[in-house]
């Protein structure tokens, strides 16, 4: 039975060991030390384990003692006098122990061993139930236990990976380094190492030039172990601490021996690990900068292209040179529609994407602790927005001008046709009148004939006066064509002038002929009253029929049902006068019949010519038949116009029905999106999914916009420019649709930036929900913004003790442009900066210093050796040359470079 005093309880810290932290891990030393029951088992140590411990611990001690020019042969004998034990502790700790006693008596040896044990205790290790006597007496179990304590304290204690205990940390390190290797599965420090592949994998991971791992076989454990032992001893300065045969032939190799040997590999590669960590940190920082620079270049390129397109487009839209014909102006309108449908939409997307890229870039710069991006002069988001606003203003003016010009040309074409019609009728009436007025037939005429000529001339004067109004209408139409800038105004003016000159000449000739007839009027006494009465009644009636035919053939242009109904009403009123006109016709023809009756009664031979007028009864009959024929034609023309206006009304109602649905739908979606952006019911991913669904719904809704565009185009082609059935124009819908697309894209980008912020800063969903809840509570206007007073109240509610100076400093962070409001994104950025850490220029400098072996400069060769090629060349091209005493030619200044990465200096 083993005495309790012979037990060793090792590795309890002085005081309360369970609460003491080692290496910042918070793990007590006793966590990875074996407890009393472990040593009960170890006191019955398996001979194979004892042999392995003897060899391993001896080799480990000699690996340190040889630095002092000595070694041990027998672990329980050579430490008995305490001298080499004290020397071992001095070598591994780097500290001086008290001067040893030189005597060879037992008490001298005990004194030296006690000095060593006291030193161990001074390092935080309490040795319970072990004294110097056991070591001096050569107790192998106690000696091995003491050496294991020293190994744990000085070789293993500081090993910690991800806040694990030393043993677990060493095991986790081995597992990570060997994870990629086939046939290797490290789970412990005994049987996982029996086939030697784990040791070979550790070496190959750090020094692939020393072992060809692909040639190793799992069924050759002896060969694998000896390969690892030999390579470690020859190239890594790790002495051979184990025998391959002992490990292979032992069912379960000794854990302490394996841990001791493996810890040597950890320390051998610690420097490489540190350099690798430093290089990884630098690569990560450089990758952030490279990605940001790429985003900046993409922004500059996209901004330049968009501004150039706007610069090229505005002069085209500012061109107000009107075409001469309706066809040419309609082609301009069609070109403008193509611009709206084909050319502009991709630029709208580019503008939206540009804003998203800018916001994402600024978020990434904030998250990586970099200075904000300032685009080139004239390429700020606000510059693009102003340029875009200017484009849309010019665009709106261009469309209004086009439609105004088309209306003007439509009016001009109508007036020009009307002018031609009236001119043709007038010129037809005046044809031959000058020759007639210039005749001197009265010189050889009889009295009756003279009187007839006089009456005929009076009838002509009556007819001439009746035509005065038509001449004035022709002049008025010509004047309006000139005022509306008709393209062929010259020919219109020329024809109008010719008609006016002819009219003046007719007036002069008429007056001259009257004067001549009056002079000879006294010579003539006979007058045929019936002819005269016929002439007097036929002329006005004929003039009425001429006016009726002119009105029935008159061209018209209307834009509504009401206008065409007004024309129909006027036409109906005209038709109501036809019975009375027919009575007048019958009365006039009755005069002619009376003349014939008298002539027949009194045997008068008529010449067949009315001396007072050129109108005959046949003329009256023919014109009356023409009037009756034109009436149904006018009816048909008016009904056709009614059908066209009804079709236009259907187009108006069709457009209005869709617009009255689409307009509110767009507004509703805008409101729903704003609600989703401040909803805290779910995670950011839930918000993103919801927004993506909204985005897809919006994309799917595009067909309704396209259909409305088609109806709008039909309306414009039908020259419909007003719609009383809706307050929404196509321009309103277009602007609302573009705003909706921009809003959903911006909102998705904001949530993406929040996810990016959360993941980059390591902020939990609960924290983000708390931030959002606080923001929503103090967003009193529910517009996604807080004013400064509400922001101050929000911070106070979250535990901030704010003075005026501190609050002013915070406001410069969240509202750098002094807008007077704090947005949700600015609030989140501030809170994440307050609750998370970012890499700093000092951290990057420290990493470079490791790669540079503590020098204040780093060489080109070191950069290319320690960093991947792309990152190495990035540094070489941007670092300035280091100037200092004894610095090589290729020395580079990594300190100024690191500062410049964070905007603290210029590269």
Pairing relationship of beta strands 880-881 and 785-786 according to DSSP bridges: unpaired
Q: Examine the pLDDT at 14 and tell me if it is beyond 50.
A: no
Let me know: does 258 contact 189? Beta carbons within 8 Å: yes
Which of these ranges, 547-551, 681-685, 728-732, has the smallest mean pLDDT?
681-685
- Chosen domain end from 735, 754, 773: 754
Query: Which pLDDT value is given to residue 446?
Result: 55
pLDDT digits 0-9 by tens, 393-440:
998 998 888 888 888 888 878 888 888 898 998 888 888 888 888 887
CATH number of the domain to which 876 belongs: 1.10.238.10
Query: Which pLDDT value is given to residue 32?
Result: 34
- Chosen domain end from 385, 414, 443: 414
Q: Which long-range contacts (CB under 8 A, 24 or more apart) does 442-450 make?
A: 442/516, 442/517, 442/520, 446/524, 447/523, 447/524, 447/525, 447/526, 448/524, 448/526, 448/527, 448/528, 448/611, 449/524, 449/611, 450/517, 450/520, 450/521, 450/523, 450/524
Would 853 be classed as within a structural domain? yes
Q: b/e per residue, 391-414, with b = 16+ CB within 10 A? A: bbebbeebbebbeebbebbeebee
In a shared domain, residues 224 and 336: no
Q: Examine the pLDDT at 275 and tell me if it is beyond 70.
A: yes
Helical pair 255-318 and 47-65, crossing angle rounded to 10 deg: 60
The larger pLDDT score, comparing residue 48 to residue 375, is at 375
The H-or-E segment that residue 332 falls in is helix 326-338
Query: Which pLDDT value is given to residue 23?
Result: 34
pLDDT digits 0-9 by tens, 784-825:
789 988 888 888 877 776 788 888 888 888 888 888 888 887
In a shared domain, residues 511 and 543: yes
In a shared domain, residues 184 and 276: yes
pLDDT digits 0-9 by tens, 31-60:
333 333 343 344 445 677 788 888 888 989
Q: Examine the pLDDT at 4 and tell me if it is beyond 50.
A: no
**Number of residues assigned to the chain:** 907
In a shared domain, residues 242 and 309: no
Query: Which pLDDT value is given to residue 679?
Result: 62
Query: Which pLDDT value is given to residue 37?
Result: 34
Instruction: Give rounded-to-5 percent helix, strand, coil for the chain.
Output: 70, 0, 25
Q: Examine the pLDDT at 518 and tell me if it is beyond 80.
A: no
Would 131 be classed as within a structural domain? yes
Q: Measured between alpha carbons, how far is 824 from 361 in angstroms, rounded to an integer?
A: 17
Query: Which pLDDT value is given to residue 15?
Result: 31
Joined together, the tokens standing for residue 355 give: 């804003």
In this prediction, residues 597-605 reach a mean pLDDT of: 58
Q: Examine the pLDDT at 304 and tell me if it is beyond 90.
A: yes
Residue-number span of the structural domain to which 730 is assigned = 636-754
In a shared domain, residues 168 and 215: yes
Q: Measured between alpha carbons, how far is 535 from 515 in angstroms, rounded to an integer?
A: 21
Helical H segments across 22-80, by residue range: 29-32, 36-43, 47-65, 75-78
In a shared domain, residues 535 and 442: yes
Q: Report yes or no on whether pTM surpasses 0.85.
A: no
Q: Examine the pLDDT at 197 and tell me if it is beyond 90.
A: yes
In a shared domain, residues 172 and 252: yes
719 Rama sector, left if φ>0, alpha if ψ -120 to 50, beta otherwise: left
Count the domains in the chain: 5
858-859 sheet: strands from edge to edge: 858-859, 891-893, 880-881
CATH number of the domain to which 258 belongs: 1.10.418.10
In this prediction, residues 356-379 reach a mean pLDDT of: 86
Q: Which band of pLDDT confidence, cut at 50, 70 and 90, is reported for residue 198?
A: very high
In a shared domain, residues 395 and 277: no
Q: b/e per residue, 604-626, with b = 16+ CB within 10 A? A: eeeeeebbbbbbebeebeebbee
CATH number of the domain to which 727 belongs: 1.20.58.60
In a shared domain, residues 571 and 687: no
- Chosen domain end from 687, 722, 754: 754
In a shared domain, residues 277 and 296: no
Sign of CA dihedral 306, 307, 311, 317: positive
Q: Examine the pLDDT at 369 and tell me if it is beyond 50.
A: yes
């Amino acid at each position: 039975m083993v005495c309790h005093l012979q037990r060793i309880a090792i590795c309890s810290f002085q005081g309360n060991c369970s609460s003491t932290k080692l290496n910042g891990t918070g793990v007590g030393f006793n966590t990875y030390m074996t407890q009393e029951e472990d040593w009960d088992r170890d006191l019955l140590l398996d001979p194979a384990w004892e042999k392995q411990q003897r060899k391993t611990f001896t080799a480990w001690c000699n690996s340190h003692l040889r630095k002092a020019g000595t070694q041990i042969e027998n672990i329980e004998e050579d430490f008995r006098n305490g001298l080499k034990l004290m020397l071992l502790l001095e070598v591994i700790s780097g500290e001086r122990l008290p001067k040893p006693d030189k005597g060879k008596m037992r008490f001298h040896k005990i004194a030296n061993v006690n000095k060593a044990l006291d030193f161990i205790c001074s390092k935080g290790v309490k040795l319970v139930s072990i004294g110097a006597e056991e070591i001096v007496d050569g107790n192998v179990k106690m000696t091995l236990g003491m050496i294991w304590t020293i190994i744990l304290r000085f070789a293993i204690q500081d090993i910690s990976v991800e806040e694990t205990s030393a043993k677990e940390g060493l095991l986790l390190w081995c597992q990570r380094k060997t994870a990629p290797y086939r046939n290797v599965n490290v789970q412990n420090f005994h049987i996982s190492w029996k086939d030697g592949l784990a040791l070979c994998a550790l070496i190959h991971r750090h020094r692939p030039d020393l072992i060809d791992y692909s040639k190793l076989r799992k069924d050759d454990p002896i060969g694998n172990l000896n390969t690892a032992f030999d390579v470690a001893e020859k190239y890594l300065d790790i002495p051979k601490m184990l025998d391959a045969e002992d490990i292979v032939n032992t069912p379960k190799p000794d854990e302490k021996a394996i841990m001791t040997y493996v810890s040597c590999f950890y320390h051998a590669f610690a420097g490489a690990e540190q350099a690798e960590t430093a290089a990884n940190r630098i690569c990560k920082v450089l990758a952030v900068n490279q990605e940001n620079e790429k985003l900046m270049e993409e922004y500059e390129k996209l901004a330049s292209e968009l501004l150039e397109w706007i610069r090229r487009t505005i002069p085209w839209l500012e061109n107000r040179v009107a075409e001469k014909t309706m066809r040419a102006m309609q082609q301009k309108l069609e070109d403008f529609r193509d611009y709206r449908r084909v050319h502009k939409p991709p630029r709208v997307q580019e503008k939206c994407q540009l804003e998203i890229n800018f916001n994402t870039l600024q978020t990434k710069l904030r998250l990586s602790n970099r200075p904000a991006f300032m685009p080139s002069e004239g390429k700020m988001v606000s510059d693009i927005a102003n340029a875009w606003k200017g484009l849309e203003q010019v665009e709106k003016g261009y469309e209004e001008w086009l439609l105004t010009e088309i209306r003007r040309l439509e009016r001009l074409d109508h007036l020009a046709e009307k002018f031609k019609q009236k001119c043709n009728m007038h010129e037809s009436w005046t044809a031959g009148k000058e020759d007639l007025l210039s005749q001197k037939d009265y010189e050889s005429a009889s009295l009756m004939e003279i009187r007839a000529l006089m009456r005929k001339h009076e009838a002509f004067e009556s007819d001439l006066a009746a035509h005065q109004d038509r001449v004035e209408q022709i002049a008025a139409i010509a004047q309006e064509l000139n005022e509306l800038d008709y393209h062929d105004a010259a020919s219109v003016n020329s024809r109008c002038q010719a008609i006016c000159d002819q009219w003046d000449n007719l007036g002069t000739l008429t007056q001259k002929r009257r004067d001549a007839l009056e002079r000879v009027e006294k010579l003539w006494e006979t007058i045929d009253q019936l002819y005269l009465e016929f002439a007097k009644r036929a002329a006005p009636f004929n003039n009425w029929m001429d006016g009726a035919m002119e009105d029935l053939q008159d061209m018209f242009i209307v834009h509504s049902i009401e206008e065409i109904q007004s024309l129909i009403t006027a036409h109906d009123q005209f038709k109501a006068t036809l019975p009375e006109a027919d009575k007048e016709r019958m009365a006039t023809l009755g005069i002619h019949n009376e003349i014939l009756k008298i002539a027949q009664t009194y045997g008068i031979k008529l010449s067949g010519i009315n001396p007072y007028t050129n109108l005959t009864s046949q003329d009256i009959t023919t014109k009356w038949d023409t009037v009756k024929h034109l009436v149904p034609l006018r009816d048909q023309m008016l009904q056709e116009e009614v059908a066209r206006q009804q079709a236009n009304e259907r187009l108006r109602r069709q457009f209005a029905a869709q617009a009255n649905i689409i307009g509110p739908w767009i507004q509703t979606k805008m409101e729903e999106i704003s609600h989703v952006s401040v909803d805290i019911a779910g995670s950011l991913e839930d918000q993103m999914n919801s927004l993506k669904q909204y985005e897809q719904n919006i994309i799917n809704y595009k067909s309704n916009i396209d259909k409305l565009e088609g109806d709008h185009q039909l309306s414009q082609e039908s020259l419909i420019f007003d719609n009383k059935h809706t307050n929404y124009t196509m321009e309103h819908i277009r602007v609302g649709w573009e705003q909706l697309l921009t809003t959903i894209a911006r909102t998705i980008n904001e949530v993406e930036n929040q996810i990016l912020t959360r993941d980059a800063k390591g902020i939990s969903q609960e924290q983000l929900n708390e931030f959002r809840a606080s923001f929503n509570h103090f967003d009193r206007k529910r517009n996604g913004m807080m004013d400064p007073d509400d922001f101050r109240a929000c911070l106070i509610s979250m535990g901030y003790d704010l003075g005026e100076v501190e609050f002013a400093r915070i406001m410069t962070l969240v509202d750098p442009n002094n807008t007077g409001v704090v947005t949700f994104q600015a609030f989140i950025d501030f809170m994440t900066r307050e609750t998370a850490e970012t890499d700093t220029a000092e951290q990057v400098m420290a990493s470079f210093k490791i790669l540079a072996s503590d020098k204040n400069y780093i060489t080109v060769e070191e950069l290319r050796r320690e960093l991947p090629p792309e990152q190495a060349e990035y540094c070489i091209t941007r670092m300035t040359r280091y100037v200092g005493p004894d610095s090589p030619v290729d020395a580079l200044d990594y300190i100024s470079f690191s500062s410049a990465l964070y905007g603290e200096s210029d590269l």
